[in-house]
Amino acid sequence: MQPTTVFVKTVLKSPHRSQSYAYLIKILDAFFPKVKVDESLPQVAYRNEFDLYLVDSTGNNWQTLIPAELIALAKLQPVVVFNARSDAICEKNLLLNNFKGVFYDNDLPEDVFAGLVRIISGELWFSRKSISATFSEILSMVSRNNASQNLNFECSHEQLANLTKREKSVIYLLAQGASNNDIAERLNISDHTVKTHLYSAFKKTNSRNRIELANWAQRFMAVRLPLHS
């Protein structure tokens, strides 16, 4: 089914507009009856009102970690990243998390047009190299995980059960890219307390660093857990 409604998440008054941004908006207006542009995603209950989401990645580095909120959205609705920098995005990570495509800040208008046509038709818009590498990794993961699937599930379930409510809240925010200071302010606790919770979470989830803990959270927690104060 061809999308009819599009949501564009972007900074409305950003001074760093790419050359293709205005062209992208014109294409969307021409293709779709309804295009909404806002700085925040719709509330969860209303996200199914849009058939396609375009997310502006200006100023963000998603090379190793994609915000959990976007990963959860991509599981339910088609999501495309635009205004991406090649050194701040990883196509393989996007593919593995069910994103449909990516437009770069230096893409030519004709490339943006071609990409949108493909995406609207239900295809992906990534480089062939990225698709091939991702497909190979998926096959390897399937082969590697078949034997240990039940064990991994049991381990992750036990790890999740061992986390305290506060630790879950800290991990929840960390998985969305929050710094220690951000987490402290959101939860009204000290930086030292944040570090203590993170150290405990590292041990309980067998994570060696923040990236591994965030990846663990996005795999086993996503954004399904409530944020406890």
- What are 157-187's pLDDT values in tens digits? 677 888 999 998 999 888 878 889 999 999 9
Instruction: Please report the pLDDT score of residue 14 as a whole number.
Output: 67
CATH number of this structure's domain 145-220: 1.10.10.10
Among candidate residues 128, 132, 126, 198, the one with its CA nearest the CA of residue 168: 198
Q: Where in the chain is the domain with CATH 3.40.50.2300?
A: 5-132
CATH number of this structure's domain 5-132: 3.40.50.2300
Q: Which two tokens stand for residue 191?
A: 């930086």
- Distance from C-alpha of 100 to C-alpha of 123, rounded to nearest angstrom: 7
Strand order in the sheet with 34-38: 34-38, 5-9, 52-56, 79-84, 101-104
Q: Where in the chain is the domain with CATH 1.10.10.10?
A: 145-220
Q: Is the pLDDT of residue 150 over 60?
A: no
Tens-place pLDDT, residues 90-100: 998 899 899 99
